Structure formats: structure tokens, C-alpha cells
Chains A and B, each alone.
Chain A
Amino acid sequence: MLLTPINRNYHDFKIDRDKDLCINCKVCVRQCSYQAHYWDENRKKVMHDNSKCVGCHRCEALCPTAALNIRQNDSEFRTNALWRPVFIKNIYKQADTGGVLLTGMGSPVDIPIYYDKLLLDASQVTNPSIDPLREPMELRTFLGAKPDRLEFEKGKDGKPILKTKLTPQIQLETPLMFSAMSFGSINFNLHIAMARAATKLGICYNTGEGGLHPSLYMYGKNTIVQVASGRFGVHRDYLNAGAAIEIKIGQGAKPGIGGHLPGEKINAKVSETRMVPLGSDAISPAPHHDIYSIEDLLQLIYALKEASEYRLPVSVKIAAVHNAAAIASGVVRAGADIVVIDGMRGGTGAAPGMIRDNVGIPVELALAAVDQRLRDEGIRHRASIVAASGHRCSADVVKAIALGADAVYIATAALLAVGCTLCARCYTGKCPWGIATNDAELAKRQNPEVAEQKLINLIQAWSHEIQEMLGGMGLNSIESLRGNRDKLRAVGLSQAEMDILGVKHAGK
């Protein structure tokens, strides 16, 4: 008894197996990558170990007789407002391991979600709402720097000819993109699915920092290639393969720290794409070691523009931190064509829980502050703004655009679309849904064609909903929503919060 760790019984989930329904077919045994289910030779039946369950619900979904139910463990600690169970359990774990508590996915903690406190407007009487089924409802969006004015000259026939040459832009048919998830953190099946879905939808997906496998170059027009601190897979062809280049300075889920892809996830294909040895850990340093200040960022931006012969817009992604507005202003002045603001609710393949749950600020506040700052300084046109982190539905997207975003990056929602259940164990490499894993057996659970169709469906569904909401507000084009904060009203927010968001309280 003394050898049993304190932890043994304080697990999060309980596997509830209906004995009458179970036919001992062992599907759950084969499906569970954590060995929570096992065949008990002595008893001749399938048994389970609750402490191993991560709550991914894979077994429950595949059990042919619906015999399984995964529940929260109802064993309770004595109620304590300060020492909530999560802190107690974390201490037990750290006392056992002496290590940093790793976790995956976006933060589950109760950070205010401002989207829930913002409500949208609709037309009544004084202006007509527009029906997207009868009238055009335009979502096309261009990302990239815009001139502050256009110049024209008169052609021979007296018609105007545009003199101003626009810098490179990304054209999106709907203001949504798949955010950076590296090949390695998720597997190749999903990279193909994202690339094809983005191509069919006329939007872009982001490679993340893991390079781009040569077989995906054909989807380049709909690809944003990322350059992060580890520079994995970065070479001339890679930089020129996509529609834009993104410099990743920070990630909302883990601002201020780097990344670590464990060697177990580096298989042959990943190793080839990342240009790192097979099976070795791929570590991204916390900062870029050639960027210690804003003028260094300027140099990298222009180095990338040179490398791509000024054909591609350069995007810079920063985590939403306290001085996001001032930082974004510097980033735009350094020559970025797109600024991505990644809030603290963003997902991750792996991050220390302390960082994920405590560092950074919600994207709504950062986005609103950045948009306003760039306008105050008269440089908003010089860069597009993309918001990322925890956009759960089309209404969140509409609210983000009304706050000032040009487009929204989604990643967690995209993974949910292909079956992720937010078990938050992506860092283990054992994702039972075949997403955050390169184990061939597990990865097989994702069929690229099916995943592609799910992603297409999701974006189409959201786009239709965005059109409905736009039409309801009496708008027929997305650019009239962008930064139109008059379409938002706050409920239950303080004056300080409303001032930062630039919105009135509901009823005003």
C-alpha cells in the first residue's frame, strides 16, 4: 500500500461500462492508445483502468453496443475555494515527477470571453435587412498592405487607368483561414486535407513551423508558409512556394517560450520536411536568435521579401500580450503586410500549463487595442489584421471582424471538425483520433478525403451564417463590417472594458 502513489485514485475520468451491453468484442481495447481498456485473461472479459483514461471518448464513439460512457470522476475533495482540485492534483503530479506540467490544446481556465459579452445588431424598419439567398452577399477579402490613396491617369479613350501598383495581396473568398499547425504536431493526412480544403474554398492554410512537404507544393496558391525561431524546413523553394510568408514571433497559447517536438514524433517524412535528423527532438528557441529588437525584425521581413522577390506579402504573428498595440505598431512600421494577433485562448500541440493559463491577454482586447492604435497612428491601411485564438463559431468571427480584424485564423475549430474532442493530450503523440500523432496506426484514423470534406463543410457553414448576420445588419459586403464597432453592443462590461473594445453598452 505504501508504494501506491498519492495520485493513483485522483484521476479525472471514470469509465462506465454497461455489463449487460458489453459483448467483449475488444474494440475499445484496440482503440485506446492509452491502454485504459484491456483484456483480462483470467476473467475472460474486457476490463479497464480509470486512471489511464484521458477523456478522449474514442472508445465510446466506436463501441458497437454503446456500452461505454466516459464520465467525470465524481470522487470529490473537500470543498475549498482556494485549493481547487486542479491545484491539488497538479501538486501531487509535480511531487511525483519534479517536472514542468505539460499540456496541450487551448486553455480551459475561466478567462473572460468577451465575445460572449458582445451582441450584434440587426435592421428594423429604418433600413431593410438583406436576404443573402436573393441578393449578393460578399465575403471576399484581401490581405496585405494597401496604399493610403489610389492615383489614376486618363487613358486614350478618356477612361481612367490605375497608376498605383498595389503591393502583393492574398485573396480570400471568405475571411477565414486555417491557422498554423505544423506537420509533425499534426500528421500528413491532415496537412493534405487542409491544403485541399483551402484550395477548394479559395482561402489559405498555414504550414506552421514544420516546413512544407514537396508533395504539397502544388497547393501553394492557398498556402502560407511559416518561418519560426527553429527555421525548420526553411529554404529558398519553401519561401517561394506559398501565397505569403509568416514570421512567427509568438504563439497565444505560450507567449514568450519556444516549442519542443519530441523525437518520437519525428518520423522519416517529418524529418525530411523539417530537415532535422530522424528521431531527434526539434526544439524552437524562445526568441528568434536573429531578432532581439524591432529593427532586427525589419531586417528579417526585408530579407524574406528579397528572397521572394517582393512577390509575396509578409505576415508577422505575435502573441496577445500587454503591450500588443505598441508592438503591433512597431511591426507594421517594420514593414509587415499582415499582423496576426494570437490571443491567450489559442491552442497548442504542447505547452507548459502555467504559461498557457496565465500568460497573455484575450484576443478581443488585444485586437481592439491594435486596430485602434494603428488607426490613431494613421497606419491601419499599411497592414491587414488577422485575429486568432479560440474562435468557436461564426458569430465570434463576425464580432472579431466588427472589432477590426480583416480575417480570422481557426485551428482548434478545424481539429474539432475532424473529430478532436479536446482531451488536451496532444503532446503525448498518442492522439486516439489520429490527429496530433505520427504513429502510422493512429494516423490512419484520419482519412484525408473525409477530413477535407469536413473542413470544407465547416467553412461553408460558417460563411453562410456570416452572410445571414451581415444581411440582417443591412450590409452586403464584409468590408462594411470590418471595424464597424457600432454593430456591437456590450452587456455587463465595465467602462474600462468598453472603452478598450470601443463599444457602447447595450441599450445605448
Chain B
Amino acid sequence: MVSKKYRRTTIEIDEQLYKRIKALAVEKDRTMRDIISEALEEKLAHEEEKKDTMDSDFLRENPISKKIVGTMEKFISGDAALLLFVKKCESRGYNPSLIGREMLSDEFLLSLCNGMRYLSDVDKSECLKALKAAVGGY
């Protein structure tokens, strides 16, 4: 086995947390270094996995978002639709999983159409109409 390389670092942690790590290390007869490294590995793996699936998870969770992205896909590719929708949500501080009808102002939908028009020759008003029809109402 290849021996691991270690790097020394200094961080400040909560006093109580420190005591708990120390106690666990004694109990398990392991070094604090191992306990902390293991915990960080788990955290990082979890975060990285979350990032991998996060991109399109909201489509399963939110039928309105799904309808919108589905309609966008008529004009641009699925990959582009996803990227644009997430970006436009982000810039308004919306969580794509928590999109509600009341958030879908004309102005928001038009910003999607404007982005789409770089990639598709869809007419602006036709685009707005399609998006509105997709989410029903209006």
C-alpha cells in the first residue's frame, strides 16, 4: 500500500466538539487525526454526490418547474433548458424545487425567452405564450 502524505494545518474548533472527538478517539483507540479525516471524507463524499444529482432533481420534486423546462425543450436542447432555468431562478433567489405559480411573472418568463432566443429562432411572444400555456391558468 502507498503510504499517505499528511499536511499539518491549524484550525479552531468548538471546545465541546474538541472534547467529544478526543473522547471518541480514546474510546476507539484511534488518533484524533484519523477520526477527523474520516469525518471530513464522509462529509465531502456526501456533498459531491449531492452536487452530481442536484442539477435536475428539482424536476422530480416540482411539477411546475418540470413543465417549464419541458416546454423550453421544444425550442432548445434539454441541457441548455436546464442550465438556463436554474440560472434564472438563482438570479432571483428562487429555489427551482420550490417554484410556485405566483413566482412566474411575465418578466421572469420573458427572461427565459430572451435567453432561449440566442439558441432558437422562436418568436418572443410565441415563447411567452407557450410557457404560460404549459403552467396553465392565466
Asked if A and B are interacting partners, one says: no
Give the interface of B toward A (CB within 8 A): none
Give the interface of A toward B (CB within 8 A): none
